[in-house]
A = this chain, B = another copy of it.
Amino acid sequence: MTRKVNIAVIGTGRMGSVHVTNLVRQIPQANLVAICDIRLEVAQAVADELDIQRVVKDYHELLADPSIEAVLIATNTPTHPMIIKDAASAGKHIFCEKPLSLELDDMDEALAVVEKAGVKLQVGFNRRFDKSFQRVHQIVNSGEIGRPCILHIISRDPESPTMEYLRDCGGMFLDMTIHDFDMARFQIGEVDELYAIGNVLLTPQIIEFGDLDTTVVSLKFANGAIGTIDNSRQAVYGYDQRLEILCTDGAARVDNEAETTIQKGDRDGFHSAKLPYFFMQRYAPCYVEEVRQFVECVRDDKPTPVSGQDGRMAVVLGLAAWKSIREKRPVKISEFDRH
């Protein structure tokens, strides 16, 4: 049997605890040796439920442990650059939840440390690991339906998060659209220019901190294709995640899966189920698969499937979208090039 990778998880909140559970139950390639949260009681509760032996409050303790090869960072976004730098400096391979950072400078500094340290970095763009999105990627990239012309991504949450969450999340483009920016790059390639429009049609309270709840971004890709990303904080019929790519000789489309395949017919017509409530359900297998692949990359010394540059570009596209909104004009992505 091949060796297991010793890994620790830093941050055991909503996403962190999902990763912890997956590592224990579904990723035999990994050996979860410790978990960490500054709210020690939160980490302890997770550890109790899953029989995890080692729980620490300060992540430096884990970085000092030479038996730990890799860390999975699922803390608050503002702490990402710092922990990445510390972990890279300690020679640990890193899986970091998205977004890498909301600040370009901090992020670039962290990426520089990672590069210098020569450790692996993977960013948590889980949707790339969905079997449907992967199959579309394969169809489009095989050329069997010609060259891509128009991309559409529809990505809508079932309901708005809390005001507390919204206040610190980076706003629509860095919290929600960032996933779709990464998907756009995954499917079509680099974006050359974008133009964003949006409005507040659902939760007027967010106007005070300048956020939007209904947005459309139009994209020009470097390869000549064009596209749109449409986002909303509220699709009452469930978590709406669709994508389609028109190519010169065909098209490929990912549709939603409903909660059940039941159809009820009556005098009013036919009635079918809502969509799965939210990302934890819709993308459950992706959260397992992305970490499994990271662990195998560490074990077998292979490049990670989602790089630091991928993480950076998604943030850049989010920042460009906000710039487009502020300046009411199309924005070239080259305006954000590293100097």
Contact = CB atoms under 8 A, between A and B. Distances in A.
A105 interface: no
A265 B251 contact: yes
A234 B154 CA distance: 22
Nearest to A228: B228
A216 B150 contact: yes
Contacts of A136: 262
Copies of the polypeptide in the assembly: 4
A267 B230 CA distance: 20
A261 B267 contact: no
Interface string A193-204: 001011101100
Contacts of A150: 214, 216, 230, 232
A213 B94 CA distance: 45
Given A201-B224, A262-B132, A251 B269 contact: no
A98 interface: no
Contacts of A260: 131-132, 135, 254
A191 to B, nearest CB: 12
A145 B249 contact: no
A51 B201 CA distance: 54
Interface of A: 25, 131-132, 135-136, 139, 145, 147, 149-150, 152, 154, 156, 195, 197-199, 201-202, 214-216, 218, 220, 224-228, 230, 232, 234-237, 246, 248-274, 328-330
